[in-house]
A and B are shown apart, each in its own frame.
Chain A
Amino acid sequence: MPPGLLQPKSHLRFAGAVLTLYCLVVVVLGLPAEMTPNTLFAATSSVVGVLDDHGLNAWHRVFPGQRNHEKRRHIAIRFVGTTVDGQSVVLHEAPEGLVHPEVRVFDNLRTTVSYKMLRLAPLSRIMRTEDDAQWRTQLDQLRRQGHMARYVYAFCSSDHLAGEHDLLTVDMELFTAGIDYHTGAQYGRAAGVLRALCYAEQVVPHYGIPQTRPGWPGVEWREVS
């Protein structure tokens, strides 16, 4: 160690103090709940939340243990519009064509946005639920979420998203497939979720059955009543 550091100049001491404090804050803000007292974690979480709102968060938890998620497979959504002259048009599919290629090389931002719109947690639940009654419950919860209604209605209110079509209705359809961790059995379900009535400026539940389904290999499609 250089002897000069034993009698450091004041600006060096100040810089050292600032950097030490910064590093300390970085460490404390990064500690997960499992390593932090509850009150401290509540305080640090709110600080990280504020930073997150401003687009700054170097403490992001990477794939933080999707608890109890054992069976997950495919998810797809489709928005089908009906024009005033009765024409049916596919406005958006996530992923495109409802199926991924054998190997995905690039992320598709529209697909990612659509997945995120459905929100990861409810989306994952609906994929891994094998029980028919539970699946219907999850689907009904999706139908009741306000942001889902805004999502569907966006295709009415945006000329860009509507592809310049004059739309009467927009139907959102959902396709999910789960996989049993132990047996490998794959079960798929397809259902309508919401219908936007563009001229009435309303969004209502959609109980129709999609006319086509994705050709996911190995998936056995179940009837949804």
Chain B
Amino acid sequence: MTHALRRAEAALLHWFFAPASVAPLAAIRIALGAILVLSVVQAVPHIEWVWGGDGLLRHATQSYPSHPMVGHAPLVFGTLALSAACFSVGLATRVSGLVAAGAQATIASAGLWHSWGWTNAIPVFVAIVAVSSARNMASVDAWWARRRGRPLPTVTPRWAVRVLQVHVAVVYIAAGWHRIDDRGWIAGEMVYAAVANSMYTRLPYIDPQPLKPLFSLLTWATEALELAAPILLWVRRTRVPTVLALMALHLGLELSAIIGWWQYMMLAMLVVFLPSAWPERVLAPRPSQTLTPRAVAG
């Protein structure tokens, strides 16, 4: 192997395996687990009507009657709620995360009759977080290990962070670059179209006509941001402003439109691009940041 190739391989291995804080992974673990639990809470009143043995999908679709969920829907949703709750608090994190990912994928494989794109994207993210070091901070597993005198490391190789970063960047490639020749986006009409569509909008009765100029600006800003994000997220100087702009975008979408839990999932996933000190401050405040008796005494 030539020297150049060896250096390229070394750079790649450094990119994947340099040590990094587990705080972003722990924050994402808590958030994704909570999202899954809340999604089950939302589904509970409708489980029998939609997925039940005598429910709508059983009678109205061709594929669902042979799906493993028929007759077991409460079991699948119950398993998801329990495993996702354990995953969120970091109890048997790896097993509970993989079980939650499996249960969610099972529900998603029944067909996207009930939901939007987040449903079958989230199992992939949960599985990656589950097998990572996300359990090493702010978790029951970490607390238990400390009690046994074998604390889990809070700095580990950052491969999972890198893989999740690639996934997040690809989400914006898939979203933004798909629309580059779309007449609706070019003409600045798509935010209007979303707000004026009772399938999505949270505000079905606002009159969108006077707000057309604002909606045009929002359409172009959204498209520009999503086109540039896959590049700007990798540039050190532009990373944090881009993440904050994307978070504002997802918050704005959440306030105006209903598309399941997509926005919350992306808000959680974007943490992977933030400085690890930010989630660390929340999840594992350093001793110097806490008030000690001496500090209080001045």
Contacts and interface: CB of A to CB of B under 8 A. Distances in A.
Which of B61, B119, B199 is most buried by chain A, counting CB atoms within 10 A of its CB?
B199
A121 to B, nearest CB: 12
A102 to B, nearest CB: 6
B167 interface: yes
15 contacts: A6-B10, A19-B16, A26-B167, A27-B170, A53-B109, A55-B123, A58-B121, A60-B174, A64-B178, A103-B202, A104-B202, A104-B258, A112-B114, A113-B56, A154-B60
Interface string A4-47: 01101000110110011011001101111111000000000000
Interface string B1-41: 00000110111111011000000000000000000000000
Nearest to B49: A110
Given A55-B120, A60-B117, A102-B205, A65 B177 contact: no
B214 to A, nearest CB: 15
Binding site of B, secondary structure by majority: helix, strand, loop or mixed?
helix
A151 interface: yes
A217 interface: yes
Given A109-B115, A123-B199, A154-B60, 20 more contacts: A8-B13, A27-B166, A31-B177, A56-B123, A62-B262, A64-B175, A65-B178, A70-B189, A100-B204, A103-B202, A104-B201, A107-B258, A109-B46, A112-B114, A158-B59, A160-B48, A160-B49, A160-B52, A160-B54, A181-B189
A1 B113 CA distance: 49
Interface stretch (A71-79, A80-88, A132-140, A205-213): A71-79
A151 B14 contact: no
A57 to B, nearest CB: 4
Nearest to A176: B198
Contact of B193 (A15, A27, A58, A72): A72
A66 B219 CA distance: 13
B173 A147 contact: no
Contacts, number: 240
B184 interface: yes
A146 B119 CA distance: 26
Interface of A: 1-2, 5-6, 8, 12-13, 15-16, 19-20, 22-23, 26-27, 29-35, 52-76, 95, 99-100, 102-107, 109-110, 112-113, 115-117, 120, 123-124, 127, 147, 150-151, 153-154, 157-161, 179, 181, 184, 216-218
B199 A115 contact: yes
Nearest to B198: A74
B280 to A, nearest CB: 23
A103 B173 CA distance: 32
B260 interface: yes
B174 A113 contact: no
A145 to B, nearest CB: 12
Interface stretch (B99-107, B136-144, B147-155, B289-297): B99-107
Nearest 3 pairs of A and B residues by beta carbon: A55-B108, A65-B182, A55-B105
